[in-house]
C-alpha cells in the first residue's frame, strides 16, 4: 500500500476513475437531493430552492409517522422471522459435510440470478386465492375429506375455504422474509464457518446438551454475524418498495412506497427528498448504535 502511494501516476490512474464515478453519480445526486429536501414545491411540481424545514415537519406529521412506524414494525417482524428461519439454515450449511457446503450455499444465493420483479410475481402466483398454495391446500383437504368419508365421518372437514394470502400485511412479510433471507444467512454462515468447532465440543464435554450449547456457546460466538445479518435484513426491509407495492394491500404502504409516490404521481420531489433523508438518518442512527455497542463491548484492555 505504501509503495502504491509513492508511485503517484499509477495510483491516480487506478484510483481516479472510480472516485470520479462515485462522486459524479453518487455523491453529487445525493447532495442535490439533500438540497431539494429544503426546497419548496411549486403548483405544477416545480422545485423552488429555499431553506426551510417544512418538508421535514410534514414528514413527521402523524399520518406519515404512522407509515414510518408501520415500516419499522413490518421490518422488525420480517427480520425476526427471517432470523428464526435463517439461523438454523446457516447452521445447517456451516456444519454440513464439506462436499455439500458449496451446493447448499449456491441454493441460498440462487434466487439472485432471477430478477426480483419476476420472483415477486411468482409469489403472486403462489399466494393468490386461486394460486398454487391454495390448490395444494384444497387437494389436501379433498384427500382428507375422502379419507374421513371412507371411515364413516363424511362431513368432518366441511367445505374448503381458500385462504386470503395475497394483498395484505402477511403477504408483505412473507415476501420480505423470502427476499432478504440470503442477506441474513450469508453473514451468519460466515461467522459460524470460521468458528472453531472445539468450542462446541468443549461445551458438550463439560456436560452441556446440544440446546444448551446452542444458546450458551454457538449463538454468543456467532453474535457478530447475527447482528450484521439482522441489521442488513432490517435496513433493507425498512426501505423496501417493490414487495409491498406488489404483494401488499391498500393498508400495506411502507415508507419506500410513500417516497416513490412523491417522485411519481405526487410530483413532490422536495417532500420525497426529505422523507428519503429521514430514512437515511434513521439508518445511520441504527448503525451508530451498533458501532458504539461493539466498541463498548471490546472495552478497556
Partner 1 sequence: MVDNTIISIRDVVKRFGSSVLAVNNVSLDIKQGEFFALLGPSGCGKTTLLRILAGFETPSEGQVLIDGDDMERVEPNKRPVNMVFQSYAVFPHMTVRQNVAYGLRVVGTPKPEIDQRVQESLSLVQLEELADRKPDELSGGQRQRVALARALVKHPKVLLLDEPLSALDAKLREQMQIELVHLQQTVGITFVIVTHDQNEALSMADRVAVMNGGNVLQVASPTELYEYPNCRFVADFIGKMNLFDGQVVGVKEGQVVVRADAITAHIGDISVPFGDEARGKVGIAIRPEKVKLDGEEPKDMPIRVRAKVVEVVYYGNESHVFLQSTSGAKITANIKNTSRNTHAGIVKGDQLWVSWCPQDTLVLTS
Quick check: 100 binds partner 1 (CB under 8 A)? no
CA distance 10 to 257: 45
Nearer CB in complex with partner 1: 33/208: 208
Residue with cell 450455499: 105
Quick check: 194 binds partner 1 (CB under 8 A)? no
Kindly indicate which of the ranges 58-66, 112-120, 128-136, 206-214 contains the residues binding partner 1, using the contact rule CB under 8 A.
Answer: 206-214
Quick check: 204 binds partner 1 (CB under 8 A)? yes
Phi and psi dihedrals of 40, rounded to 5?
-120, 150
Quick check: 98 binds partner 1 (CB under 8 A)? no
Quick check: 221 binds partner 1 (CB under 8 A)? yes
Q: In the stretch 142-181, what mask flags binding to partner 1 with x, by CB under 8 A?
A: ----------------------------------------
- Interacting residue with partner 1 among 217, 232, 258, 274 (CB under 8 A): 217
Nearest C-alpha neighbor of 181 from the set 73, 86, 72: 86
Nearer CB in complex with partner 1: 142/201: 201
Quick check: 97 binds partner 1 (CB under 8 A)? no
# residues near partner 1 by CB under 8 A: 19
Residue with cell 450458551: 216
**Positions in 6-65 near partner 1 (CB under 8 A):** none
Quick check: 202 binds partner 1 (CB under 8 A)? yes
Quick check: 99 binds partner 1 (CB under 8 A)? no
Kindly indicate which of the ranges 69-77, 99-107, 197-205, 239-247 contains the residues binding partner 1, using the contact rule CB under 8 A.
Answer: 197-205
CA distance 140 to 151: 17
Quick check: 203 binds partner 1 (CB under 8 A)? yes
Cα maximum dimension of the chain: 89
- Interacting residue with partner 1 among 43, 205, 265, 295 (CB under 8 A): 205
Q: SS3 string of 188-247?
A: HHHHHHHCCHHHHHHHHHCCCCHHHHHHHHHHHHCHHHHHHHHHHHHHHHHCCCHHHHHH
The C-alpha cell that represents 181 in the structure block:
433471507
CA distance 84 to 80: 6
Nearer CB in complex with partner 1: 18/209: 209
Q: Where are the alpha helices (DSSP H) in the chain?
A: 2-6, 8-22, 28-36, 54-59, 62-94, 98-109, 116-127, 132-150, 169-194, 197-205, 210-213, 219-221, 223-238, 242-247, 255-263, 269-298
Nearer CB in complex with partner 1: 44/98: 98
* Smallest separation, CB 204 to partner 1 (Å): 5
* Smallest separation, CB 293 to partner 1 (Å): 14
Q: Which residues of 233-259 are buried (b: 16+ CB within 10 A; e: fewer)?
A: bbbbbbbbebbbbbbbeeebbbbbbbb
Nearer CB in complex with partner 1: 198/250: 198
Quick check: 208 binds partner 1 (CB under 8 A)? yes
Quick check: 196 binds partner 1 (CB under 8 A)? yes
Q: Which residues bind partner 1 (CB under 8 A)?
A: 196, 198-199, 201-209, 212, 216-217, 220-221, 223, 301
Amino acid at each position: 500500500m505504501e509503495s502504491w502511494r509513492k508511485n503517484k501516476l499509477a495510483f491516480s490512474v487506478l484510483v481516479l476513475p472510480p472516485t470520479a464515478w462515485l462522486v459524479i453519480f453518487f455523491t453529487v445526486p445525493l447532495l442535490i437531493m439533500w438540497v431539494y429536501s429544503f426546497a419548496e414545491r411549486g403548483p405544477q411540481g416545480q422545485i423552488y430552492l429555499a431553506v426551510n424545514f417544512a418538508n421535514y415537519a410534514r414528514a413527521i406529521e402523524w399520518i406519515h409517522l404512522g407509515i414510518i412506524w408501520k415500516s419499522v414494525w413490518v421490518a422488525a417482524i420480517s427480520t425476526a422471522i427471517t432470523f428464526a428461519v435463517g439461523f438454523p439454515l446457516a447452521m445447517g450449511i456451516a456444519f454440513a459435510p464439506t462436499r455439500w457446503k458449496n451446493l447448499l450455499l449456491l441454493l441460498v444465493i440462487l434466487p439472485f440470478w432471477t430478477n426480483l420483479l419476476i420472483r415477486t410475481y411468482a409469489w403472486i402466483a403462489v399466494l393468490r386465492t386461486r394460486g398454487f398454495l391454495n390448490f395444494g391446500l384444497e387437494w389436501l383437504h379433498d384427500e382428507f375429506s375422502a379419507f374421513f368419508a371412507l371411515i364413516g365421518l363424511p362431513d368432518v372437514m366441511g367445505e374448503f375455504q381458500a385462504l386470503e394470502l395475497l394483498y395484505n400485511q402477511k403477504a408483505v412479510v412473507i415476501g420480505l422474509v423470502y427476499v432478504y433471507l440470503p442477506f441474513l444467512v450469508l453473514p451468519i454462515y460466515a461467522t459460524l464457518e470460521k468458528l472453531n468447532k472445539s468450542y462446541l465440543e468443549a461445551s458438550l464435554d463439560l456436560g452441556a446438551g446440544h440446546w444448551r450449547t446452542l444458546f450458551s456457546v454457538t449463538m454468543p460466538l456467532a453474535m457478530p454475524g447475527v447482528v450484521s445479518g439482522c441489521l442488513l435484513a432490517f435496513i433493507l426491509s425498512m426501505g423496501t418498495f417493490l414487495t409491498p407495492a406488489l404483494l401488499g394491500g391498500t393498508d400495506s404502504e411502507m415508507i419506500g412506497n410513500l417516497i416513490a409516490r412523491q417522485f411519481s404521481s405526487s410530483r413532490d420531489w422536495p417532500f420525497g427528498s426529505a422523507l428519503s433523508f429521514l430514512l437515511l438518518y434513521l439508518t445511520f442512527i441504527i448503525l451508530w448504535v451498533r458501532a458504539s455497542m461493539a466498541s463498548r463491548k471490546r472495552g478497556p484492555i
